[in-house]
Amino acid sequence: MKKPTIIFVLVLLFSLSVVWPLQAQTPAPAKPSGPLAVKAGKVLDVRTGQVATNVYILVEQGKITSLGPTAPAGVPVLDLSNKTILPGLIDCHVHLLLNWNDQSSASFLRMSSPQAALWGWRNLQVYLEKGFTTLRDAGETDALYGQFALRDSVKSNLIQGPRLVCAGSFVSVTGGHGDLDSLAPDFALKKQVNIADTVDEVAIVVRRDLKYGTDWIKLMATGGVADPLSDFNVQELSQEQMAKAVEIAHRARRKVMAHAEGTEGIKAAVRAGVDSIEHGTMLDEEGAVLMAKQGTWLVPTLYTFQHGVEAGLTYNQDPIMLEKGKAILKYQQPAFALALKHRLKIAFGDDDDPAFAPKEFSALVRGGMTPLEALQTATVNGAELLGLSAEIGTIEAGKTADLIAVEGDPLKDITVMENVVFVMKQGAIIKQPKKD
């Protein structure tokens, strides 16, 4: 054997001696270990608000097979008799591929696609630990669609995380809320793949998202807060542009969400046929009536606006972004009151660091919902919006075994949702209560 060959073999053997043990130690995603009965002190029926006591929930092969007052024979029992059990939570407005500690307008220029995917993996773990077993990613800046890789990796059990329904890019006009280029004109970036200034360009962006596997299309109907360029009062995409996106998406059996904060942009998006309005912060009476008539969903994301103002410049917000947040916040409560008055369909969304996601429950209650209504936004309502009602959203025989537990009564004190002590996703135990 020649000397270079011997050296190559020695290097290869050394590499295997280092890498192979590391691979063997890599924890695999949790899997169901066999039939299990969860003894629940209380089980909340999120549809009715009724509470059943001392219930045994039988879980087999990732499904709930029965609920009853006695323990099934020959099956191990997990004792949660001092806990309240609810369905796994559903968050319909997240952005996974972010380092939420850096919310400056230049953060996107410092984040590679691989690094964003790693942040996405980290954020998935936080959401799961908080009790969110299903998420809708409401669009990302990553032109390489890291969120789709995360979605598919969770589905194939390559990584652990909530199940994902994903939007692709942000369909935006030049200079709009989804235009990431905040540089001076002498340093301008090349045109990004999500920018569409005409109806035909919208069609191109939408078809690109569809080509690479999007579940939802995300439109920037108006300006926003978290950028240095746009005006949240201003409608950006025209109604014709949004209607074209809806036409193409619906033909492909996909749905469309619209970031819409300004009053006229909300109404234009609804008239264009979008399936959900995100934020709706300046909703007026006419818009609320129109949404009710069309059956358009609202994902209000109340806490993120409140938190943004409270945090100030802590997370590197640009000062102009903070000022816009302060300016728009005064419209939030009147708009949400109109949504409740007209009985709009409302789903839970946090649009913030996953560490703060459960605080949206309290924000919804402060805004005028009952605790049960707030819980419904993140269970039955979220499941309906995502077309997953047959699988998740309630605790019933035949449904997927997504269960969480809290201490206390969330119908009396909604803040207990901020301390989820047990998480089961698809029959696999993710988080156990701490032992006393």
Confidence of residue 269 (pLDDT cuts 50, 70, 90): very high
Can you list the domains of the chain with their CATH numbers? 36-88+393-431 (2.30.40.10), 89-385 (3.20.20.140)
Q: For position 1, what pLDDT does the model report?
A: 46
The share of the chain scoring above pLDDT 90, in percent, equals: 88
pTM score, whole prediction: 0.92
Number of Cβ within a 10 Å radius of residue 353: 19
Q: For position 403, what pLDDT does the model report?
A: 98
Q: For position 54, what pLDDT does the model report?
A: 96
The C-alpha atoms of residue 155 and residue 149 are separated, in whole angstroms, by: 10
Q: For position 83, what pLDDT does the model report?
A: 97
- Per residue in 198-217, pLDDT (tens digit) is 999 999 999 999 999 999 99
- Per residue in 23-35, pLDDT (tens digit) is 444 456 777 768 9
The share of the chain scoring above pLDDT 70, in percent, equals: 93
Residue 7, pLDDT > 80, answer no
Closest CA to 259 of 278, 241, 239: 278
Burial 399-434 (b: 16+ CB within 10 A, else e): bbbbbbbbeeebbeebebbeebbbbbbbbbbbbeee
Q: For position 3, what pLDDT does the model report?
A: 46
φ, ψ of residue 367 to 5 degrees: the values are -75, -10
Number of Cβ within a 10 Å radius of residue 31: 12
Q: For position 108, what pLDDT does the model report?
A: 85
DSSP string, 258-327: EEE-SHHHHHHHHHHT-SEEEE-TT--HHHHHHHHHHT-EEE--HHHHHHHHHHTTTT---HHHHHHHHH
Q: For position 28, what pLDDT does the model report?
A: 62
- Per residue in 174-200, pLDDT (tens digit) is 999 999 999 899 999 999 999 999 999
Distance between start and end Cα atoms, the chain: 63
Confidence of residue 69 (pLDDT cuts 50, 70, 90): very high
Q: For position 27, what pLDDT does the model report?
A: 54
Residue 5, pLDDT > 50, answer no
Q: For position 23, what pLDDT does the model report?
A: 44
Confidence of residue 10 (pLDDT cuts 50, 70, 90): very low
Residue 228, pLDDT > 80, answer yes
